[in-house]
Amino acid sequence: MSTSNPVNLLDFDVDGLVAWFAGLGEKPFRARQVMRWMHHEGCADFDAMTDVAKSLRAKLKEIAVVRPPVPVRDSISADGTRKWLLDVGNANAVETVFIPETNRGTLCVSSQAGCALDCAFCSTGKQGFNRNLSAAEIIGQLWLANNLLGAARDQAADLEAGERDNGRIISNVVMMGMGEPLANFDNVVTALRLMLDDHAYGLSRRRVTVSTSGIVPAMDRLRDECPVALAVSLHASNDALRDRLVPINQKYPLRELMAACQRYLERAPRDFVTFEYVMLDGVNDSDTHARELVALVRDVPCKFNLIPFNPFPDSGFLRSPAERIRRFASILIDAGIVTTTRKTRGDDVDAACGQLAGQVQDKTRRTVRLKQEREIRS
């Protein structure tokens, strides 16, 4: 094996790492030892893995690495939200966001450099699409955030202020960053298995959430292979509107999406689906839209998370007024649907929902087309 092209051990879940170690003639317990060092301890230095045999450490130094993405910018919002811009090569960079709260800390993880789905109100989608992230690049966001937040906590005078969930700073992970997670299914599931594995991060399935725009076949695969909490980016109450706002709806319309949600709940760790709904002034926020939603989800145990639109340049949308959001929520609540309105976090560093853009070398040429369209309109 060439030392110029070492294997990144962050790419493996426990089964994959056991198989790779078997190829070296090593027993399964050695793989689990190394996995605990990598993920429990955040260790990237094989020499520091003191209970691993010296001969194996020497071999690993020659043929393997523990290499997360490299942070190129670290931004902290006035509300404590922290956003990292991470270099993933070839002039592409993705964003990862940590949201601290009183009783939990949530990490928002990206799955793609850009996004091919082109949802109308999402800054990521307007950047176009370059590629899927590897499993190492996905789980590496959690690895890196754990290390950076742990170092910050250890330097703080008041250690308790940063601790969550019995000392765990990051207690929840949401696949809601850049990209459509289920369009990068295999790599995302490898990362999910690491998040759940007791040899790695040991998170509860209830504390790991995948957000999808509604790729129905992949929702079924996720249910069968690695069911975690599910969030669906809904954003519209009828097919005509959703076709415009969330174009994947043209392939998997609302009736198919609702049926997939019902199937998913047969194995989900939570007994409800979370529907995310961005509030766009004069577009999807009327009383009629709210009543259509009540009818749409009547057979799907669910809760709604209303998201005040977070502006970005040339979006073409405005945030619904606070009173309109309140009225919309009250219609859902009166129908017996648990409904919350998401508090905007990190918008002063463009870390709020829908604002993540990163740096994308767009293979879809979407950015060029958008520029041409703006020039024609002007």
249-291 pLDDT tens trace: 999 999 999 999 999 999 999 999 999 999 999 999 999 999 9
Active site residue: 119, 226, 261, 353, which one? 353
pLDDT band at 310 (very low <50, low <70, confident <90, very high): confident
What's the mean pLDDT in 81-109?
A: 94
Domain 7-65 CATH (choose: 3.40.718.10, 2.70.98.40, 1.10.150.530, 1.10.3720.10): 1.10.150.530
For 150-168, write each residue's pLDDT tens digit: 865 554 444 444 444 445 7
Task: Indicate if 353 belongs to the active site.
Answer: yes
pTM score: 0.91
Give the dihedral sign, CA 25/28/30/36.
positive
Assigned architecture for domain 70-377: Alpha-Beta Barrel (3.20)
Is there a shared CATH topology between the 7-65 domain and the 70-377 domain?
no
pLDDT band at 353 (very low <50, low <70, confident <90, very high): low
Contacts 24+ apart (CB under 8 A), 296-302: 296/237, 296/238, 296/254, 296/258, 297/258, 297/337, 299/258, 299/262, 300/258, 300/261, 300/262, 300/265, 300/273, 301/265, 301/271, 301/272, 301/273, 302/261, 302/272, 302/273, 302/274, 302/275, 302/337, 302/338
Active site residue: 95, 137, 180, 276, which one? 95
d(CA 147, CA 144): 5
For 41-56, write each residue's pLDDT tens digit: 999 999 999 999 999 9
Task: Indicate if 95 belongs to the active site.
Answer: yes
- The domain spans of the chain are 7-65, 70-377
